[in-house]
C-alpha cells in the first residue's frame, strides 16, 4: 500500500517543470574514491558509484535498497552535494543543480536529508529548537519567526514544544531525536527529502511510529521522498517504486509491488529469499547467495553479479548488461531477461504481430 | 493461535497511525542545563578539583594584591639580617641571601611567575586554535602544509626548544613569553586540528552544510562551540608545564632579571644557601610546586566533568 | 616491513631538513654580533671584518646555510668560539654523558611508572589507585630543578651520603660504570626519573583500565584462564604504547636535561648548552641543539618502527 502519485499541492511558482517533469533526474552518476597504495603499488580506486541513472517523479516515494557497500548512501550524498561527483548529470525539476538557473543555495532550500545516526545528526551544544531554526535563519528568516516555525514543527512531529524545545540532544531518546531531525529537514519547506537509513537505527515499535509520521507529513506537505534502506519490509510499506543497487550500479528498478513480489533480477530474488519468514513452514533450505562478497576495488568483469548468480553463463562474463525495460515501468540489468542477449534463458525476440 | 499470514502480503504495521504522544522521558520535568552548566554542575561536586581551584584563586588573589599587602618591602635588604630562618620574629618565612623578607618576595614573585607562566598558554591557545581549526576544517593542501610545518617544531623536545629560543633571543620577560608561546603553539594546534577534523565529519556539520550556510557561519555557530571545549581543557593542562618551564628559564638566568622577585630566579640565587638555611632555599620551589599541582588537579577535574554521556 | 621503514625515512627527511633550518636560524635570531662575545671591546673594524670573513658571517644567509649544512653532513659542526676546539668532539663527549644519565633515568622511571600504572589500572578506584595516581600527579607537577635541590639538601648537605655535583670523584668529564662513579649518578638519575615515571604511570593506568574493560578479557576469564594468564595478555596489549612512550620520554630527557645537569654540574649536553648560552658561543650552541634535535627525530622514527612491528593492527607496507 502506498499513496498514489498525485498532483502535488505546491504553489505554481515553485513547481517550475510541471507534473510530468521528474523532480530529480540522475544520469550516469559516477564517484570513485582513490585508495592509498604504498610505493610500488598500483593506484586503486573504490568504484563506489559506477554509472547510476534513475528519476524521481513528483509526489512519489522512491526506495533504494541494497546491501552495505553497494553505494546507496554515497549516491544520496552525491545528490545532496556533500561531495563532488566525478561525472554525471544531476537535474532538479529540469534544471542543472549548481547551474545558473539553480544555484546551490536555492537547491539546498528545496532538498533536505535525514541521516541514519540520530545522535550524530544533532549538534550536542544546541537546543532542539535552535538546531531546527538554524536552516531558516541562514536563509534570512528573523530569529523570532524561525523559533516559532521550529516550535510548530516540533508539535507537528509529535514533540510537545513546551517540554522539548529547550532540550539538548542527549536528553532525548533515539526516536525523539529522529523526529527532531525530520522537523529540521522540514524547516526549510523542501520539496524533496532524502531519508538515508533514517529508521534503521530505531527500535521496531518506534520505527513504526516514525514511518507513519513520515507518511502523514508527505501528504500534508506534498513531499517527494528518496528512501534508502536495507530493510525490504519497510521499503514495501513505504515506497511507490524501488531501485535495487549492487556494487555501485542499479540492477533493477520498478514499482515496489512488482519488484518485491516478482523480482526480475537474480540478486533481488536472492535478497528477498534471504529475509526470514514468520511462517515456520517456509524455511530457507539453500543459501540464496553463493560466493564471496564483492570487492568494490576490483569488480568482476561483465555483469558484476555473475560470480554469485545461479543463472550465470559465459556470456555474462563478457558483457555488462544494460538497464533495459522488461515492461514500460520495470527495468532490469540482466542478460537472462533481455531478448537476444545470448543468454540461454533470455526470452526470444518476439516478432511484432 | 493467530494465523500468521505469509509475510509477503501482511500489513507490516498496525499501530494506529499519526503522531502519537510519546511516553515521558524520565527527567521530563527537570530544567535543562546547557553544556557548560552541566560541566560546572559536575565540577562543583568534585572535591579535589574544587580544592585545587580554591588554592589557585587564593594564590592569584595574593599575587594581584601583592604590591599593597606585602608585610615588608620586597626590595629592601639588610646585610646583617641575611638568611634568617623560617619562623623568625620579624621575617615570617625567613629572609633571603640579601636580607630581604621571603614572604613579601614570594607574594610579589607570584605575580611575575604567574604572568610568564600563564600568558604564553593564553597566547598559544588563541594562535594554536586558529591554525588548528583552520587546518582541520579546510583540510587538503592547507592542512598538509600547516601540519608539516608544525611537525618540524614537534621534532624538538619542548624544554630544548624553549631554552634554545630563549638563549637565542636573550634574557627578559618578553623574550621568555615569546619562546614559550612558540613551544606551545604547535601542541595546541595539533590538538585543535585533530578535534576539528573529527567534528567536521559529524553528521550535524553535514546537515548544517545542507541548509546552505556559508563556511564561516558553520564554523562560528556549529563547529566552534564543540571544538573550543576540548582545546581549552588541553590548554589548562599545559599551564603547569608552562609555569615550571617559565620559572626554569629564570632559574637558568634566561628569564626575569634581578632584582625583580620571581620564584625561579629566587630559587637560583638561593642555591648557595642550601647549606646554611635549606628550608628558606627550598621555599620558592615549593610555591611553584603548589601552583603547578593545583592547576594539574583542576585540569584533570575539568576533563572528567566534560565527558558527556550520550 | 622494509618498505614501511623506507616510507618512514622518506617522510622524516623534510622534517629533518626543517629542523636543521630552525637550528641554523636560531643563531641568527640572536641580537648582537655573533662575534661580540669573543672579541675585545676596542677591536678595530678591520679585525672585526677579518674575523667575520673567517667565520663566514659576511655571506648571504642562504649561502651560509648551504655551507653549514654541507659541513654538517661531513661531520663538521664548526669550532667553538670560546674554547677553540671542534664542536663535534665537545658535543660528542657530552652526549655520551647525557645519554647515560637519560637512559638510567628512563629505566628507573619506566620501571616504577609501569608498576604504579599497572597497580592503579588493576585496582581502579581503590586506595591503591589513589596512591598511585597521587604519585603520578606528583611526578608531572613537580619542578624537577626544585626536586633536585631538595634531594641535594637532604642527601648531600644534611646526610652527606651522596655527592652533590659532578660525574666522578676527580671532577672528571666522564662517567664510568664502576662503583666509585655509581654514587654520582644516583641523585641526578632519580630526579630525572620522576617525570617519565609520572607520565608513564598515568598513561598505563588509563590503558590497563581500558584493556581490562574490553570484552575479550571477560571471555578469557570465562574460559578459565588464570589471572596470571590474563595479566600476560594485558601486558602484550599494553606493550606497544608503553614502549613508545618510554622511547619518547628518553628523547625528552635527553633534550631537556639542561636544568638538572646545571644543578648537579653533570658534564652533559645540557651543561654544555648552558655554558654556550652564557658565553654566547653560537657555533657550540647551534651544534649542540642540532645534535639533540636529530637524536629526538631518530628516536621518534625508531619508536614508530618498533611500535608498528609490535602492533599487528597497524598496517604496513
pLDDT at A196: 92
What pLDDT, in 10s, does the model give residues C108-152? 999 998 888 888 888 877 888 888 888 888 888 899 888 988 888
CB atoms closer than 10 angstroms to residue B140: 8
pLDDT at C136: 85
A183 vs A156: CA distance, rounded Å: 8
The set of cell numbers assigned to B109 is 614573585
Q: In terms of C-beta density within 10 A (0-12 exposed, 13-18 middle, 19 or more buried), how is residue A228 classed? A: buried
Which are the contacts of B3, defined by CB distance < 8 A and separation ≥ 6? Answer: none
CB distance B274 to C153 below 8 Å: yes
pTM: 0.81
Instruction: Nearest by CB to B203, from A120, A138, A171: name it.
Output: A120
Q: Chain C within 8 Å of A36 (Cβ-Cβ)?
A: no
Sign of CA dihedral A306, A311, A313, A316: negative
Split into its structural domains, chain B has a count of 1
Which are the contacts of B294, defined by CB distance < 8 A and separation ≥ 6? Answer: B52, B53, B55, B56, B59
pLDDT at A335: 84
C224 to chain B, closest Cα gap in Å? 34
CB distance C7 to B149 below 8 Å: no
Residue whose C-alpha cell is 529522529: A178
CA-atom Rg of chain C in angstroms = 24
pLDDT at A8: 35
Kindly state the percentage of chain C with pLDDT values over 90: 3
Sign of CA dihedral B144, B145, B146, B147: positive
Residue whose C-alpha cell is 641526578: C188
Sign of CA dihedral B153, B157, B160, B162: positive
B66 vs B75: CA distance, rounded Å: 13
For residue B240, which residues of chain C lie inside 8 Å, CB to CB? 140-141
pLDDT at A11: 46
pLDDT at A223: 92
Please judge whether C7 and A38 are an interchain contact, meaning their C-beta atoms are less than 8 angstroms apart: yes
Helices (H) and strands (E) in chain C, counts: 12, 0
What pLDDT, in 10s, does the model give residues C36-65? 655 666 667 777 777 777 666 667 778 878
CB distance A65 to A244 below 8 Å: yes
A91: left (phi over 0), alpha (psi -120 to 50) or beta: beta
Please judge whether A170 and B18 are an interchain contact, meaning their C-beta atoms are less than 8 angstroms apart: no
Whether the per-residue pLDDT at B27 is higher than 50: the answer is no
Residue B118, domain member (yes or no): yes
pLDDT at B216: 86
B14: pLDDT confidence band, cut at 50, 70 and 90?
very low
Domain range for B146 is: 45-65+88-304
Q: Does residue B259 have a cis bond before it (omega within 30 degrees)?
A: yes
The set of cell numbers assigned to B224 is 566552534
A168 vs A144: CA distance, rounded Å: 19
Q: Chain A within 8 Å of C3 (Cβ-Cβ)?
A: yes
Residue B148, domain member (yes or no): yes
Helices (H) and strands (E) in chain A, counts: 11, 12
A7 vs A1: CA distance, rounded Å: 18
pLDDT at A321: 86
C285 vs C273: CA distance, rounded Å: 6
CATH number at residue B126: 1.10.3720.10
C210 vs C189: CA distance, rounded Å: 31
pLDDT at A148: 93
Residue B18, domain member (yes or no): no
- Helix residue ranges, H only, chain B: 35-44, 47-69, 102-138, 140-154, 158-169, 173-200, 203-210, 215-217, 224-251, 263-269, 278-305
Residue B237, domain member (yes or no): yes
Residue B189, domain member (yes or no): yes
Residue B71, domain member (yes or no): no
In angstroms, the first-to-last Cα distance of chain B is 42
Structure ipTM over 0.85, yes or no: no
Q: Chain A within 8 Å of C169 (Cβ-Cβ)?
A: no
Which of A38, A40, A41 to mutate to probe the C interface, most C CBs <10 Å? A38
Most confident of A285-299, B16-30, B208-222: B208-222
**H or E stretch at A351:** none
**H or E stretch at A249:** strand A249-255
Mean pLDDT of C68-80: 79
Q: In terms of C-beta density within 10 A (0-12 exposed, 13-18 middle, 19 or more buried), how is residue A44 classed? A: middle
For residue C1, which residues of chain A lie inside 8 Å, CB to CB? none
Whether the per-residue pLDDT at B128 is higher than 60: the answer is yes
A48 vs B122: CA distance, rounded Å: 45
pLDDT at B31: 55
Sign of CA dihedral C22, C28, C29, C34: positive
CB distance C62 to C149 below 8 Å: no
pLDDT at A42: 65
Please judge whether C26 and B165 are an interchain contact, meaning their C-beta atoms are less than 8 angstroms apart: yes
Higher pLDDT, A115 or B32: A115
Kindly state the percentage of chain C with pLDDT values over 70: 87
Whether the per-residue pLDDT at C208 is higher than 60: the answer is yes
Whether the per-residue pLDDT at B215 is higher than 50: the answer is yes
Residue B1, domain member (yes or no): no
Mean pLDDT of B228-235: 89
CB distance A247 to A70 below 8 Å: yes
A38 to chain C, closest Cα gap in Å? 6
**H or E stretch at A311:** none
CA-atom Rg of chain B in angstroms = 27
Instruction: Nearest by CB to C258, from B152, B155, B163: name it.
Output: B163
Strands A241-246 and A249-255: antiparallel
Whether the per-residue pLDDT at B21 is higher than 50: the answer is no
pLDDT at B310: 35
Low pLDDT (below 50) residues in chain A: 1-12, 39, 352-353
C297 vs C19: CA distance, rounded Å: 9
For residue C153, which residues of chain B lie inside 8 Å, CB to CB? 274, 278, 281-282
DSSP character string of A138-161: HTT--HHHHHHHHHHHHHHTT--H
pLDDT at A1: 35
Q: List subunits contacting chain B, requiring 3 or more Cβ pairs under 8 Å.
A: A, C
Mean pLDDT of B155-176: 86
C251 to chain A, closest Cα gap in Å? 29
**Three-state SS for B96?**
coil
Beta bridge partners of A96: A91
B263 vs B110: CA distance, rounded Å: 7
For residue C7, which residues of chain A lie inside 8 Å, CB to CB? 38-39
Cα torsion for C91, C96, C97, C99, to the nearest 10°?
Answer: 110
For residue B284, which residues of chain C lie inside 8 Å, CB to CB? 146
B46 vs B166: CA distance, rounded Å: 39
Round the average pLDDT of chain C to a whole number and report it.
Answer: 81
Whether the per-residue pLDDT at B13 is higher than 50: the answer is no
Higher pLDDT, C245 or B79: C245
Which of A1, A102, A108, A120 to mutate to probe the B interface, most B CBs <10 Å? A120
Sign of CA dihedral B264, B268, B269, B273: positive
- Going from the C-alpha of A111 to that of each of A212, A218, B16, C105, C172, the distances in angstroms are 21, 14, 29, 63, 79
CB distance B233 to B306 below 8 Å: yes
Q: Which residue of B has its CA nearest to A182?
A: B207
Round the average pLDDT of chain B to a whole number and report it.
Answer: 81
- Alpha-carbon C32 to chain mean position: 30
Q: Which residue of B has its CA nearest to C27?
A: B168
The set of cell numbers assigned to C228 is 596470571
CB distance C3 to C317 below 8 Å: yes
Interface residues from chain B to A (CB-CB < 8 Å): 4, 6-8, 10-13, 15, 17-22, 25, 27-28, 32, 34-35, 202-204, 206-213, 217, 221-222, 225-226, 308-310
Higher pLDDT, B31 or B122: B122
**Three-state SS for A55?**
strand
Which are the contacts of B136, defined by CB distance < 8 A and separation ≥ 6? Answer: B143, B192, B193, B194, B195, B196, B197, B199, B200, B227
Residue A324, φ and ψ in degrees, nearest 5: -110, 150
**H or E stretch at C220:** helix C215-222
Residue B75, domain member (yes or no): no
Beta bridge partners of A224: A192
The domain ranges of chain A are: 119-189
Q: In terms of C-beta density within 10 A (0-12 exposed, 13-18 middle, 19 or more buried), how is residue C302 classed? A: middle
pLDDT at B163: 87
Amino acid at each position: 500500500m502506498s499513496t498514489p502519485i498525485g498532483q502535488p499541492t505546491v504553489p505554481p511558482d515553485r513547481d517550475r517543470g510541471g507534473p510530468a517533469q521528474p523532480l530529480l533526474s540522475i544520469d550516469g552518476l559516477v564517484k570513485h574514491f582513490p585508495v592509498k597504495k604504498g610505493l610500488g603499488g598500483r593506484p586503486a580506486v573504490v568504484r563506489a558509484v559506477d554509472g547510476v541513472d534513475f528519476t524521481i517523479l513528483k509526489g512519489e516515494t522512491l526506495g533504494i535498497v541494497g546491501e552495505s557497500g553497494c553505494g546507496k548512501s554515497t549516491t544520496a550524498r552525491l545528490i545532496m552535494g556533500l561531495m563532488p561527483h566525478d561525472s554525471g548529470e544531476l537535474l532538479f525539476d529540469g534544471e542543472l543543480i549548481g547551474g545558473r538557473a539553480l544555484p546551490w543555495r536555492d537547491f539546498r532550500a528545496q532538498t533536505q536529508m535525514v541521516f541514519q545516526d540520530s545522535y550524530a545528526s544533532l549538534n550536542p551544544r544546541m537546543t532542539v529548537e535552535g538546531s531546527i531554526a538554524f536552516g531558516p535563519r541562514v536563509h534570512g528568516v528573523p530569529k523570532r519567526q524561525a523559533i516559532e516555525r521550529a516550535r510548530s514543527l516540533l508539535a507537528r512531529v509529535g514533540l510537545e514544544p513546551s517540554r522539548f524545545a529547550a532540550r539538548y540532544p542527549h536528553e532525548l531518546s533515539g526516536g525523539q531525536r529522529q523526529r527532531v531531525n525530520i522537523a529540521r529537514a522540514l524547516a526549510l519547506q523542501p520539496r524533496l527529502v532524502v531519508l538515508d537509513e533514517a529508521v534503521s537505527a530505531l527500535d521496531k515499535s518506534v520505527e513504526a511510529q516514525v514511518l507513519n509520521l513520515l507518511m502523514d507529513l508527505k501528504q500534508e506537505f506534498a513531499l517527494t521522498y528518496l528512501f534508502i534502506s536495507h530493510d525490504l519490509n519497510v521499503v514495501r510499506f513505504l515506497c511507490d517504486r524501488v531501485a535495487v543497487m549492487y556494487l555501485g550500479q542499479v540492477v533493477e528498478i520498478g514499482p515496489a509491488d512488482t519488484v518485491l513480489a516478482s523480482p526480475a533480477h537474480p540478486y533481488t530474488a536472492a535478497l528477498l529469499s534471504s529475509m526470514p519468514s514468520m511462517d515456520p513452514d517456509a524455511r530457507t533450505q539453500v543459501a540464496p547467495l553463493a560466493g564471496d562478497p564483492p570487492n568494490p576495488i576490483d569488480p568482476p568483469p561483465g555483469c558484476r553479479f555473475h560470480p554469485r548468480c545461479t543463472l550465470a553463463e559465459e556470456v555474462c562474463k563478457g558483457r555488462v548488461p544494460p538497464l533495459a525495460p522488461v515492461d514500460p515501468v520495470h527495468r532490469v540489468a540482466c542478460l537472462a531477461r533481455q531478448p537476444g542477449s545470448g543468454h540461454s534463458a533470455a526470452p526470444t525476440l518476439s516478432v511484432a504481430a | 493461535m493467530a494465523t500468521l499470514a505469509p509475510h509477503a502480503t501482511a500489513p507490516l504495521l498496525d499501530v494506529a497511525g499519526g503522531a502519537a504522544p510519546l511516553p515521558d522521558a524520565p527527567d521530563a520535568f527537570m530544567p535543562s542545563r546547557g553544556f557548560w552548566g552541566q560541566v560546572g554542575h559536575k565540577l562543583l561536586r568534585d572535591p579535589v578539583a574544587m580544592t585545587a581551584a580554591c588554592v589557585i584563586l587564593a594564590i592569584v588573589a595574593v599575587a594581584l594584591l601583592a604590591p599593597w599587602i606585602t608585610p615588608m618591602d620586597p626590595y629592601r635588604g639588610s646585610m646583617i639580617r641575611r638568611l634568617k630562618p623560617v619562623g623568625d620574629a620579624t621575617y615570617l618565612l625567613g629572609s633571603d641571601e640579601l636580607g630581604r623578607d621571603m614572604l613579601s618576595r614570594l607574594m610579589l614573585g607570584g605575580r611575575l611567575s604567574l604572568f610568564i607562566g600563564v600568558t604564553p598558554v593564553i597566547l598559544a591557545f588563541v594562535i594554536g586554535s586558529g591554525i588548528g581549526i583552520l587546518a582541520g576544517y579546510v583540510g587538503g593542501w592547507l592542512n598538509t602544509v600547516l601540519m608539516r610545518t608544525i611537525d618540524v617544531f614537534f621534532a624538538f623536545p619542548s624544554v630544548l626548544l624553549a631554552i634554545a629560543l630563549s638563549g637565542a633571543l636573550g634574557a627578559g620577560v618578553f623574550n621568555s613569553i615569546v619562546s614559550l608561546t612558540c613551544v606551545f603553539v604547535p601542541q595546541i594546534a595539533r590538538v585543535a586540528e585533530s578535534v576539528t577534523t573529527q567534528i567536521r565529519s559529524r553528521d550535524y556539520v553535514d546537515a548544517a552544510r545542507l541548509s546552505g550556510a556559508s563556511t564561516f557561519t558553520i564554523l562560528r555557530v556549529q563547529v566552534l562551540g564543540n571544538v573550543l571545549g576540548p582545546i581549552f581543557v588541553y590548554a589548562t593542562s599545559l599551564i603547569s608545564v608552562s609555569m615550571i618551564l617559565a620559572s626554569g628559564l629564570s632559574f637558568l638566568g634566561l628569564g626575569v632579571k634581578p632584582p625583580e622577585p620571581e620564584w625561579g630566579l629566587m630559587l637560583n640565587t638561593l642555591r648557595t644557601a642550601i647549606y646554611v638555611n635549606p628550608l628558606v632555599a627550598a621555599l620558592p620551589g615549593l610555591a611553584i610546586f603548589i601552583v603547578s599541582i593545583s592547576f594539574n588537579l583542576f585540569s584533570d577535574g575539568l576533563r572528567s566533568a566534560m565527558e558527556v554521556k550520550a | 616491513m622494509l618498505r614501511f621503514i623506507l616510507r618512514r625515512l622518506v617522510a622524516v627527511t623534510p622534517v629533518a631538513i626543517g629542523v636543521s633550518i630552525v637550528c641554523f636560524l636560531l643563531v641568527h635570531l640572536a641580537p648582537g654580533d655573533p662575534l661580540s662575545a669573543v672579541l675585545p671591546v676596542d677591536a678595530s673594524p678591520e679585525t672585526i671584518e677579518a674575523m667575520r670573513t673567517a667565520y663566514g658571517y659576511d655571506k648571504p644567509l642562504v649561502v651560509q646555510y648551504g655551507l653549514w649544512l654541507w659541513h654538517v653532513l661531513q661531520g663538521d659542526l664548526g669550532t667553538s668560539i670560546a674554547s677553540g676546539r671542534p664542536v663535534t668532539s665537545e658535543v660528542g663527549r657530552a652526549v655520551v654523558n647525557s645519554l647515560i644519565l637519560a637512559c638510567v633515568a628512563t629505566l628507573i622511571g619506566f620501571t616504577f611508572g609501569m608498576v604504579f600504572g599497572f597497580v592503579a589500572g588493576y585496582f581502579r578506584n581503590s586506595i591503591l589507585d589513589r596512591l598511585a595516581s597521587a604519585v603520578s600527579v606528583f611526578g608531572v607537577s613537580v619542578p624537577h630543578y626544585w626536586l633536585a635541590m631538595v634531594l641535594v639538601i637532604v642527601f648531600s648537605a644534611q646526610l652527606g651520603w651522596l655527592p652533590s655535583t659532578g660525574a666522578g670523584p676527580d671532577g672528571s668529564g666522564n662517567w664510568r660504570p664502576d662503583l666509585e662513579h655509581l654514587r654520582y649518578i644516583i641523585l641526578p638519575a632519580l630526579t630525572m626519573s620522576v617525570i617519565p615515571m609520572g607520565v608513564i604511570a598515568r598513561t598505563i593506568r588509563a590503558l590497563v583500565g581500558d584493556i581490562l574493560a574490553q570484552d575479550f578479557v571477560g571471555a578469557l576469564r570465562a574460559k578459565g584462564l588464570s589471572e596470571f594468564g590474563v595479566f600476560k595478555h594485558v601486558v602484550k596489549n599494553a606493550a606497544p604504547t608503553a614502549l613508545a612512550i618510554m622511547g619518547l620520554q628518553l628523547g625528552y630527557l635527553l633534550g631537556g636535561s639542561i636544568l638538572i645537569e646545571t644543578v648537579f654540574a653533570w658534564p652533559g649536553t645540557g651543561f654544555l648548552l648552558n655554558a654556550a648560552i652564557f658565553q654566547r658561543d653560537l657555533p657550540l650552541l647551534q651544534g649542540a641543539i642540532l645534535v639533540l634535535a636529530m637524536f629526538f627525530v631518530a628516536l621518534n622514527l625508531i619508536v614508530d618502527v618498533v611500535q608498528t612491528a609490535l602492533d599487528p593492527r597497524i598496517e604496513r607496507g
